[in-house]
Amino acid sequence: YNLTDDDPAVETVRTCKMQVLDLPDERAISGIKTAYFIPLVHRNRVLAVAATGSATEDREEHERRMEAIQPLFDQAAIAIEHARLYANSKKHSEQLAESNQHLTSEITERTIAQEALVEHNRLLGGMNEVTKAISGSLALNQVLDNLAPQIVKVGGFRSLCVTLVDEKTHSAEIV
């Protein structure tokens, strides 16, 4: 329904009052000649409209029964409100879970990138130390003495063995 329509259910929503409509014979269905549109109200808001009907001769009895079960209509309105609140809460919870998952993934990606950057910077710093150590002397023994400990440190190795190759004699020597 559009809440601007001229309709008994819409009128019930607008007025927050039960609408009773006597049906012409051609609209009567299964002996129902009177239609009732009951607002289901919670906190002064119409949340739904219940519709029922009766034979015209049963109108007083039908209205008396509807009045007697008014607490049931009130409970129905509360149940509708709770269901809507639950649906909204569930929707927001799902949105928060999705946002949380997205943020967790982003944090993980940034942490990995930061760790890689720290490792890269550590290696660059170590390579700089190796460069300083090996360029400080032109004596082969001193270069080798400085080279191995620096590479072990930078590479995170437990040890390092250097074998010198002599191209003239086609031999190699562990130093």
35-56 pLDDT, tens digit per residue, is: 999 999 999 999 999 999 888 7
User: Global pTM?
Assistant: 0.58
Mean pLDDT of 21-27: 81
84-108 burial, b for 16+ CB within 10 Å, e for fewer?
A: eeeeeeeeeeeeeeeeeeeeeeeee
Read off the amino acid at residue 108.
T
User: In the structure, what pLDDT confidence band is assigned to residue 23 with cuts at 50, 70 and 90?
Assistant: confident
Contact 42, 81 (CB under 8 A): yes
Mean pLDDT of 2-16: 86
CB atoms within 10 A of CB 38: 20
| Secondary structure (3-state) at 65 | helix
| Secondary structure (3-state) at 145 | helix
